[in-house]
């Protein structure tokens, strides 16, 4: 439900911004505003998740996000919503995501074990992709054509539903296990543990490279579709829908593939398959072949995400999962706008095909360099020792 609401706003937010500006730079700033919380508030958000009652925190965050989106919806009924207001809304929604994401992944690692953990992550990923990338955007475009406020009211309702249903499924937090320290002390100790774990570092570097290369391609995909593949708006939508199908299918097959290849093998094969998708794009001008290449890339990326998330849930201590997992994701998210910028510059200088070729070769090179460190993942679930101890500082937040 929540991902479906996200899909509604994914389409509606830039369309609403078009009512007050036609600047591509200003509108693209919405993506930056939505991603910025992962660089600013992800660490304190993760620390708060580790030390706070999950159920209460979930209700607070989801009600807050519902209020933000409902405010945008109400504003669109009476006036043109300034882009600055949309930036603030996108930032606040993204800040809530840093909490809910850490909260759900931390709880999942405590409730599910073994191969069932991979299967559960696959099902959650399938639900997210089906809502955010498949059903939500299509419905959101239709609703926006009827009334600009409808997608936002729909998203607000989805947050309310999440705030009601999700707390009932979460395991209770163990308040006695939380350290009596400050958030700053928790962040420092968590970062030290993360920096000292070779497996997580290698995994983070690999996923960051994946995100960087993917952003190089996706940032210019709309231009590639219209100028090279000669697709219109409908054809471009079908191209994205086909990629979303690849996401969903690979999510549902994640457990079988993981059982066949193992965690290490799944990550390596997923990285190589995504790179193959980029390399294929660098040689074709046919929309059907390009669609298959994008579906392969999407399926591989989702499969790799499920495998790396399952690995993190086995490696990171449950009592510190929120903070350390958010620390893991900071460079990944930070690489996305940089990769998008590099992709745009390269297309301008060397063209689409050479840019896609570069993305594929860079991904394969990083994968080859990190293959040996990643092999350590098969040695055990906690290869780097005990949970990080928080520094003995008083006055907990």
- Cβ distance 53 to 109 under 8 Å? no
pLDDT of amino acid 154:
93
Residue 24, CA distances (Å) to 15, 29, 351 in order: 12, 9, 20
How far is Cα 358 from Cα 213, in angstroms, rounded to an integer?
9
Selected from 1.20.1250.20, 3.30.70.890, 3.90.550.10, 1.20.200.10, the CATH number assigned to the domain covering 189-377 reads 1.20.1250.20
pLDDT of amino acid 28:
66
pLDDT of amino acid 358:
94
Inter-axis angle of helices 321-350 and 83-111, to 10 degrees? 130
Q: For domain 1-171, is the CATH number 1.10.10?
A: no
Residues 6+ apart with CB under 8 A from 203: 267, 308, 311, 312, 328, 374, 377
How far is Cα 161 from Cα 15, in angstroms, rounded to an integer?
25
Q: What predicted TM-score, i.e. pTM, was given to this entire model?
A: 0.77
Which DSSP symbol is given to 381?
Answer: S
Average pLDDT of adjacent 10-residue blocks, the chain of 397 residues: 86 81 70 83 88 88 94 89 90 91 84 80 83 79 85 93 88 60 84 86 88 86 80 70 82 86 87 93 89 90 87 84 88 83 85 91 91 64 42 34
Domain with CATH 1.20.1250.20 in the chain: 189-377
Torsion sign (Cα): 181, 177, 323, 384: positive
Residue 105 dihedral angles phi and psi, to the nearest 5°: -65, -35
pLDDT of amino acid 135:
80
Task: Establish how many alpha carbons lie within 13 A of residue 226's alpha carbon, considering only the half-sphere containing its beta carbon.
Answer: 7
Q: Is 394 left (phi over 0), alpha (psi -120 to 50) or beta?
A: beta
pLDDT of amino acid 24:
57
């Amino acid at each position: 439900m929540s991902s479906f609401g996200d899909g509604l706003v994914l389409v509606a937010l830039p369309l609403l911004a078009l009512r007050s500006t036609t600047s591509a730079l200003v509108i693209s700033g919405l993506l930056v505003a939505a991603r910025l919380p992962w660089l600013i508030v992800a660490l304190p958000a993760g620390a708060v998740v580790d030390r706070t009652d999950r159920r209460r925190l979930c209700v607070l965050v989801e009600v807050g996000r519902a209020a933000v989106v409902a405010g945008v919806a109400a504003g669109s009924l009476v006036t043109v919503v300034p882009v600055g207001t949309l930036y603030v809304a996108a930032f606040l929604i993204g800040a809530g995501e840093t909490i809910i994401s850490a909260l759900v992944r931390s709880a999942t690692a405590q409730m599910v074990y073994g191969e069932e953990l991979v299967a559960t992550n696959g099902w959650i990923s399938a639900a997210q992709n089906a809502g955010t990338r498949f059903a939500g955007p299509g419905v959101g475009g239709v609703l926006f054509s009827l009334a600009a406020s409808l997608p936002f009211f729909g998203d607000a309702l989805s947050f309310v539903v999440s705030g009601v249903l999700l707390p009932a499924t979460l395991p209770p937090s163990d308040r006695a296990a939380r350290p009596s320290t400050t958030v700053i002390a928790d962040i420092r100790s968590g970062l030290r543990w993360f920096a000292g774990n070779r497996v997580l570092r290698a995994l983070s570097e690999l996923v960051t490279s994946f995100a960087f290369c993917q952003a190089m391609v996706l940032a210019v995909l709309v231009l590639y579709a219209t100028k090279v593949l000669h697709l219109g708006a409908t054809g471009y939508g079908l191209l994205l829908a086909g990629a979303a199908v690849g996401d969903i299918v690979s999510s549902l097959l994640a457990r079988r593939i993981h059982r066949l290849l193992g965690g290490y093998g799944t990550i390596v094969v997923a990285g190589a398959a995504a790179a193959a998708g980029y390399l294929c794009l660098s040689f074709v001008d046919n929309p059907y072949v390009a669609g298959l290449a994008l579906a392969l890339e999407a399926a591989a990326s989702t499969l790799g995400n499920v495998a790396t998330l399952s690995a993190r849930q086995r490696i990171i201590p449950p009592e510190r999962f929120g903070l350390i997992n958010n620390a893991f994701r900071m460079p990944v998210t930070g690489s996305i706008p940089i990769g998008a910028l590099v992709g745009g510059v390269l297309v301008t200088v060397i063209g689409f095909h050479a840019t896609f070729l570069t993305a594929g070769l860079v991904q394969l090179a990083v994968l080859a360099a990190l293959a040996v460190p990643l092999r350590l993942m098969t040695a055990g679930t906690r290869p780097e020792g005990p949970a990080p101890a928080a520094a003995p500082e008083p006055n907990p937040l």
